[in-house]
Chains A and B, each alone.
Chain A
Amino acid sequence: MSARGSTVMHWCVGAAVILVALGVAGRSVAQAPAAPKSSCPLETAQFHPCALPKIKSFKPPRMPDGVPSFQGYWRTQHNGAATDVEPGPGSFAIPATKGIIIDTPDKKIPYRPEALARRNELREHGSLDPQAHCAPSGPPRKNFTNFGWKIVQTPGYVIFLYESMHDYRVIPTDGRKHLPPAIKLWHGDPVGHWEANTLVVDYANGNGRNWIDMSGNFQSEHTHVVERYTLIDPDTIHFEARIEDPTLYTRPWTIAIPFTRNTDEGYYQLEYACHEGERDLQHLAPGEAGEG
């Protein structure tokens, strides 16, 4: 099995361990999601062009202070990006991926040659994947999680609460500046603002060790991400992220995926304790791929 395969297997085993640990049929993760309601097809190639006019035309529900309301539970439709943001062939237990990059001709990351070589090395070493070590993922990867997430809004803040690894992201929208550059964080430092009905999140201060997916696509501490979240109908968010890093990529590149609203009655997020229950990493060591 390839490194990609073993990483996916890690998550399958991890999820099973969590369900057993909970001792319940964890409804937030085990229940088959209801078919999402969306006014656009969910595959990136069809979704993005369909969503573009709706970004401008849809009138979103609003918070008391007038900003668009994203509040509620959401499911990512990552279209395979959790495994690979680039188009990739399927293999055992891994569906083929069609890619979610919208502005490069081959849907591939425009790596500089030396960065591409490093990516190809990294993807053979799934044990180095920070997510396999229960590290928080910065953007855009956190939005590829197969687990649900919740958006809470208070005046001046948009707060993302992820079921996966109980991660959170607090996005201030009060115009504050980024942290001083010496502070490098696994989470990075997101600061937001509103452009019409779009929440724009500017990400910096990353520690440069996050990967973008399970295939070794990676960032550096110079990576700058601009995320854009826009409702295109009551139950669909268009998510777009522009990733810029002259040390790794020849040009900025952009991804787009949908999130669909989770309206399951009585749903709430359960605990996904990662580091506390982790006992699978040994199976990801180089040379042992696939034995887990």
Chain B
Amino acid sequence: MTIETRRSFVVTALTAIVLAVIGGSVGAQQPGREYQAPRAPGGKPSLEGIWQVRNTANDDLQDHAGSLGIAAGLGVIVDPADGSIPYRPEALAKREQNRARRETDDPVAKCYIAGVPRTMYLPHPLQIFQTPEEVVILSEFVHTTRWVPVVPLARIDGYESWIGDSRGRWEGDTLVIETVGFNDSTWFDHSGDYHSDRLKVTERLRRISDDTLSYEAVIDDSQVFTRPWTIRMPLYLHKDRDRLLENECHLYAEDAHESIVGTHPEVKP
């Protein structure tokens, strides 16, 4: 080995070591690795607070241009890598039909419970509370309640519902929620993406900074999709609000048609 090549070798090796050290330290500083979330009673990371997404996932989970009732936006699907929903070929027609009729047929447009995971990325705030035994997720939209026990509790066979039947567990600092027991009536977004009553959703919530939750959901429904697929997005902390208000959507719709609920025209003061 000549002096030149030895020098070159040493420089290369030193460069590699320096890069490895820098790379390692950069990696260690990534949010979610070193961040220590505040603790809730019982010692688990606190997910408490009022949270909301800042994206257009509620309009369309995939990359999308703008259209009626839909703001243009980037997709939130991280698996498959191409960001598309892996529909079975025969299941795609219903999505196209849903999408065409979205202004009237979207269950959220009808003020119905948005289901899971959609409740988590509606353009409405939600508040999380937790005890050592449970996590409670309350949405402002049509006062939706998600109750997630993190202790063993037998499920009820055959149960069908809009919000599903959730069970939670902690994997390290990540809250994992598995939910089944759905009906087939909710959509994933305003673009008509849908599921059957065989839907299983596995969500992962992790506080990655004081102001940010990482939210991920794996959608598994072999009736409609060829394989499970995954969405991921941040939820941000509301710092300017100390309580949920309300969004009683269907009552506002009744009021728009001159509702007299709770009053009486002949005796109204």
List residues of chain A with CB under 8 Å of any chain B CB.
21-24, 27, 64, 71, 117-118, 121-122, 125, 128-130, 133-136, 150, 152-155, 157, 159, 161, 165-168, 170, 172, 176, 179, 183, 185-187, 189, 208-211, 218, 266, 268-271, 273, 275-276
Verify B160–A21 contact, CB threshold 8 A.
yes
Which of chain B's residues have a CB closer than 8 A to the CB of A186? 246, 248, 251
Which of chain B's residues have a CB closer than 8 A to the CB of A129? 262
Verify A134–B250 contact, CB threshold 8 A.
yes
Verify A135–B127 contact, CB threshold 8 A.
no
Which of chain B's residues have a CB closer than 8 A to the CB of A71? 131
CA distance A185 to B244 in the complex (A): 11
Verify B145–A166 contact, CB threshold 8 A.
yes
Does more than half of chain B's interface fall in helix, strand or loop, or is it mixed? loop
Which of chain A's residues have a CB closer than 8 A to the CB of B81? none
Can you list 12 A-B contacts (CB < 8 A)?
A22-B160, A118-B267, A130-B261, A130-B262, A134-B250, A166-B144, A168-B145, A170-B243, A218-B262, A271-B161, A275-B111, A276-B107
Q: Is B22 positioned at the interface, with any CB of A under 8 Å from its CB? A: no
Verify B264–A121 contact, CB threshold 8 A.
yes
Partner of A122, one of B162, B185, B250, B264: B264
Q: Is B138 positioned at the interface, with any CB of A under 8 Å from its CB? A: yes
Q: Which of B132-187 contact A (CB under 8 A)?
A: 134, 136, 138, 142-145, 147, 149, 153-154, 156-163, 185
Answer whether A135 and B158 are a contact pair too, CB < 8 Å, given A172-B243, A186-B251. no
Answer whether A128 and B48 are a contact pair too, CB < 8 Å, given A166-B144, A268-B147. no
Verify A276–B162 contact, CB threshold 8 A.
yes
CA distance A268 to B261 in the complex (A): 32
Q: Is B260 positioned at the interface, with any CB of A under 8 Å from its CB? A: yes
Closest chain A residue to B130 by CB distance?
A154
Verify B262–A166 contact, CB threshold 8 A.
no
Answer whether A24 and B261 are a contact pair too, CB < 8 Å, given A157-B129, A166-B144, A275-B250. no
Verify B263–A128 contact, CB threshold 8 A.
yes
Which of chain A's residues have a CB closer than 8 A to the CB of B156? 24, 27, 270
Looking at the assembled complex, report how far the CB atom of B38 sits from the nearest CB atom of chain A, in whole angstroms. 12
Q: Is B66 positioned at the interface, with any CB of A under 8 Å from its CB? A: no
Closest chain A residue to B132 by CB distance?
A64
16 further interface pairs, Cβ-Cβ under 8 Å (given A133-B259, A161-B136): A23-B158, A27-B156, A121-B267, A130-B262, A136-B143, A136-B246, A152-B129, A154-B131, A155-B41, A166-B113, A166-B144, A168-B145, A211-B262, A271-B162, A276-B107, A276-B112
Verify B153–A266 contact, CB threshold 8 A.
yes
CA distance A128 to B264 in the complex (A): 7
Verify B138–A170 contact, CB threshold 8 A.
yes
Number of B interface residues at 8 Å Cβ cutoff, please give it.
49
Q: Is B254 positioned at the interface, with any CB of A under 8 Å from its CB? A: yes
CA distance A165 to B228 in the complex (A): 32
Closest chain B residue to A268 by CB distance?
B153
Closest 8 pairs (CB-CB, A-B): A209-B262, A271-B161, A118-B267, A121-B267, A130-B262, A166-B145, A276-B112, A275-B250
Verify B136–A159 contact, CB threshold 8 A.
yes
Partner of A172, one of B107, B242, B245: B242
Looking at the assembled complex, report how far the CB atom of B120 sits from the nearest CB atom of chain A, in whole angstroms. 16
Verify A128–B261 contact, CB threshold 8 A.
yes
Looking at the assembled complex, report how far the CB atom of B198 sits from the nearest CB atom of chain A, in whole angstroms. 15
Partner of B112, one of A157, A176, A275: A275
CA distance A72 to B264 in the complex (A): 39
CA distance A225 to B251 in the complex (A): 23
Which of chain B's residues have a CB closer than 8 A to the CB of A135? 248, 251, 261-262
Q: Is B4 positioned at the interface, with any CB of A under 8 Å from its CB? A: no
Q: Is B240 positioned at the interface, with any CB of A under 8 Å from its CB? A: no
Q: Is B90 positioned at the interface, with any CB of A under 8 Å from its CB? A: no
Which of chain A's residues have a CB closer than 8 A to the CB of B147? 150, 161, 268-269
Q: Which of B216-233 contact A (CB under 8 A)?
A: none
CA distance A233 to B126 in the complex (A): 35
Q: Is B266 positioned at the interface, with any CB of A under 8 Å from its CB? A: yes
Which of chain B's residues have a CB closer than 8 A to the CB of A150? 147
Which of chain B's residues have a CB closer than 8 A to the CB of A121? 264, 266-267
Verify B127–A273 contact, CB threshold 8 A.
no
Q: Which of B114-129 contact A (CB under 8 A)?
A: 127, 129
Closest chain A residue to B249 by CB distance?
A275
Which of chain B's residues have a CB closer than 8 A to the CB of A268? 147, 149, 153
Looking at the assembled complex, report how far the CB atom of B42 sits from the nearest CB atom of chain A, in whole angstroms. 9
Verify B161–A152 contact, CB threshold 8 A.
no
